[in-house]
Amino acid sequence: MSHDTSRQTPRTIPSEPAGPFSATAGLSSTVALVADVVAVLVFTLIGSFSHNGSDGFSIGGWLQTSWPFILGLAVGWALLYTGKLRRAPGTGVLLLGSTWFIGIIVRSLVNMSLAWGFVITSLIFLGIVMIGWRVVASLVTQRARS
């Protein structure tokens, strides 16, 4: 008995989500990852300068402040690549959440303290830069397509 497949709908590729693409769909994953890392490093660099001034700034201190947030970002990117979320809308929010939450938790465990002002400021700043660059990329990509 033969099986007629001519009327079946084409299967979607399992690794690609259905529906609209994320704001970064027009960019390579490498560019998006680098932009996120730069956003985190700028956040911690500004924080280091605002608290220590240029005289008290050190690369080691900057990296010590940065690594918990870079770890959170890495976890977020790993989640994107192990699931079907890589190009889905809202990935920036997932990356912001993992970067901020894991960064705050790890930093507070390492430093044995938690400053609520830093918790709020870090969420606002990371939100602006991590979502902000995606908004700009989306607008540029849309404009280039039209």
- 69 within some domain: yes
- 10 within some domain: no
Tally of domains within the chain = 1
- Position 128: which residue type? I
pLDDT tens for 9-19 read: 444 434 444 44
- 86 within some domain: yes
Rounded to whole angstroms, the Cα distance separating 62 from 45 reads 6
Confidence of residue 88 (pLDDT cuts 50, 70, 90): low
- 58 within some domain: yes
- 62 within some domain: yes
Rounded to whole angstroms, the Cα distance separating 68 from 23 reads 26
Rounded to whole angstroms, the Cα distance separating 94 from 44 reads 20
Backbone angles phi, psi at 142, to 5 degrees: -65, -40
Secondary structure letter of residue 8 according to DSSP: S
Q: What angle do CA 81, 98, 93 make, to 5 degrees?
A: 80
What is the model's pTM? 0.78
pLDDT tens for 103-145 read: 999 999 998 888 899 999 999 999 999 999 998 988 887 777 7
- 21 within some domain: no
- 47 within some domain: yes
20 C-beta neighbours (distance < 10 Å), count: 10
Look up the domain containing 40 and give its range: 29-145
Q: What angle do CA 104, 101, 96 make, to 5 degrees?
A: 120
Q: For residue 143, give both structure tokens.
A: 């404009």
